[in-house]
Amino acid sequence: MPQSDGAISLDHDTPELARSYDDAGLVQFRHGKFLVGPLAIRSGEHVLDIGAGTGRLAEFVAGLVGADGRVSGIDPLAGRIEIARLRQADNLQFDTGRAEDLSRFHDTQFDAVYLNSVFHWIADKDRALREIHRVLKPGGRLGLNVQDPSRPHQSRVLLRQAIVEAGLADRRQESNPVLGSTDAELSALFTANGFNDYRSELRALVDIHDDADSLLRWSEASAFGNFLEAFSPSERTLVRQAFARLVEDKRTPEGLSLERYLRFAFARKAPTVD
């Protein structure tokens, strides 16, 4: 969750958070496989992964495009790109970069672009979509998944309740704002920036965590340090304790089972008209 002023800082990320993100990356990786499947990525294609993190999903996509294809992964967090580069190969390269500035890439360079649980962190979404449109080939595909404010994750609902139980309800909204886009908002953004054939689907995905600590570590790592930043250390302890009590109601034989709701959205750049 971001800071109380609503700004997302990249300065809070640490090597420890980057390693935690990679260690727990199977959660995000599984969501990403649901995203790249409908993009129908083929052998020989050029693909851009925006917000690649530590590179697990990009490595999978590199297997889809094969030796004749190429995958480029970018992320603004240098520590995560450092880990991603351990996965580099002849057809897979990583570098630091932001969605809002793809100037290192040529016009019409990519067959497909995707953003896996990234779009809700981007401040200037119009600029990012314009850049994506520019680097896509005519007929190129765009896919992303994003939180939908109309359907918050179960862990977010429990965290809000924990903040109330910790006696910090007066600061609940500023410390836990809803990031994301609704179907109507995404449709308008895609259309305004030149994309056609928009479609989206809200999916419920079940995540399993060993305990409250592992779930909170994952939340901290996936938010690159922008987690409960509005609270002091002692207040965070109170929230964590309340959250641990509440989340036990989700205990199953496999672990803590919580639903995460993501909207998967897809569109195309218009093909060239002869």
pLDDT at 13: 53
How many whole angstroms separate alpha carbon 67 and alpha carbon 22?
25
pLDDT at 227: 64
Whether pTM exceeds 0.75:
yes
Q: What is the domain class of 15-269 according to CATH?
A: alpha beta
Domain extents for the chain?
15-269
pLDDT tens for each residue of 126-157: 999 999 999 999 999 999 999 998 888 888 88
In sequence order, what DSSP letters do the residues of 121-141 get, joined into one string?
Answer: G-S-HHHHHHHHHHHEEEEEE
The chain-wide mean pLDDT, for the chain, equals 86
How many whole angstroms separate alpha carbon 63 and alpha carbon 33?
13
